[in-house]
């Protein structure tokens, strides 16, 4: 097989091309960025008093949004500031979505990575390097994710914002005795693969304790009419198919915490006990 040397070019110095050309290429097929199954929500989106956001992308399932800024040549400080400003404007205006700032540039320097690395974990931010390759047929593009968002840690006993409550709080304030009893059924399903295991009652969720330590492979959120069960598993085609092909009321996948959210009634648990137990066990094994 003959080896062909590829000729890379600098788009910033290429007379026939500009930033808008690159923007239009991505807008026509947002999947080329490699950030998942995303669609174009808006292009050249006006930010009052701040300019225009190059691209606003959205997960095909509608749960996450990406504020994308494009720059030819080397990244600079003003580009970082503008990207974060647009991300902040969008997340304040539309808090129901998970927002991620995305910087696309031809040359992402080590200094730039050091700077935005300070924000990552507090500001979800991605850096993607665009490489242009000249061929006889035209210009090809390759996108490489140089910096990804930092995944948050587990909801464990070192979580400083955790506020301890008790069972009565969940039975009277957040949920009901009936929906807390549904959480008890989840606990019993978990005892099939791990013991000793008990509940940890916190202000925002009911977690699990294994051998006297927090082990939140899943969390329960009893509500007034149902139980919201969040199972921490990586999102894969296999896991998606397993849940979607079941009879479970699948709500969404939370990228921020990496968990599948399922709405459960008493009937749901009794008729889907085996699949729920299987998902919980996989989450526990992944956690450990």
- The pLDDT assigned to 52 comes to 92
The CATH number given to 167-287 is 3.90.1150
- Whether the pLDDT of residue 176 is over 50: the answer is yes
Q: Tell me what percent of the residues of the chain surpass a pLDDT of 70.
A: 92
Most confident of 1-10, 170-179, 248-257: 170-179
Fold of 7-147: Trna Endonuclease; Chain: A, domain 1 (3.40.1350)
- 33-78 pLDDT, tens per residue? 988 888 999 999 998 777 899 999 998 766 789 999 999 988 887 8
pLDDT band at 137 (very low <50, low <70, confident <90, very high): confident
- Do 7-147 and 167-287 share a fold? no
Query: Tens digits of per-residue pLDDT, 187-221?
Result: 999 999 999 999 999 988 999 999 888 899 999 99
Domain assignments of the chain as residue spans, ordered by start: 7-147, 167-287
pTM: 0.57
Task: Give residue 157's pLDDT.
Answer: 43
158 — pLDDT class (breaks 50, 70, 90):
very low
The DSSP result for the chain, as a single string, is ------EEE-GGG-TT--HHHHHHHHHH-GGGG-SSSEEEEEEEEEETTTEEEEEEEEETTSSEEEEEEEEEEE--HHHHHHHHHHHHHHHHH-TTSEEEEEEEEEE--HHHHHHHHHHTTTS-EEEEEEEEEE-SS-EEEEEEEEE-PPPP--S-TT-TT--B--HHHIIIIIS-HHHHHHHHHHHHHHTTT-SSEEEEEBSS-EEEEETTEE--SEEEEE-SSSEEEEEE----HHHHHHHHTSSSEEEEEETTTTEEEEEE-HHHHHHSHHHHHHHHHHHHHHH-
């Amino acid at each position: 097989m003959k080896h062909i040397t590829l000729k890379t070019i600098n788009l910033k110095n290429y007379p026939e091309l500009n930033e808008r050309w690159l923007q239009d290429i991505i807008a026509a097929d947002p999947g080329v960025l490699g950030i998942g199954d995303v669609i174009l929500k808006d292009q050249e989106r006006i930010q009052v008093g701040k300019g225009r956001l190059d691209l606003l992308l959205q997960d095909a399932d509608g749960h996450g949004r990406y504020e994308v800024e494009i720059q030819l040549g080397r990244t600079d400080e003003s580009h970082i500031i503008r990207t974060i400003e647009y991300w902040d404007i969008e997340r304040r205006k539309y808090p129901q979505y998970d927002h991620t700032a995305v910087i696309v540039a031809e040359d992402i320097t080590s200094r730039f990575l050091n700077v935005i690395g300070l924000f990552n974990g507090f500001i979800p931010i991605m850096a993607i390097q665009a490489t242009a390759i000249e061929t006889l047929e035209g210009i090809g593009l390759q996108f490489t994710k140089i910096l990804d968002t930092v995944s948050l840690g587990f909801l464990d006993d070192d979580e400083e914002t955790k506020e301890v409550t008790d069972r009565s709080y969940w039975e009277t304030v957040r949920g009901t005795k009936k929906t807390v009893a549904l959480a008890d059924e989840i606990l019993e399903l978990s005892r099939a693969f791990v013991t000793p295991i008990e509940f940890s009652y916190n202000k925002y969720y009911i977690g699990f304790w294994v051998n006297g330590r927090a082990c939140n492979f899943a969390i329960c959120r009893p509500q007034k009419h149902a139980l919201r069960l969040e199972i921490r598993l990586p999102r894969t085609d296999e896991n998606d198919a397993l849940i979607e092909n079941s009879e479970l009321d699948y709500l969404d996948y939370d990228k921020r915490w990496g968990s599948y959210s399922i709405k459960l009634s008493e009937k749901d648990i009794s008729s889907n006990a085996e699949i729920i137990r299987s998902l919980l066990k996989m989450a526990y094994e992944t956690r450990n």
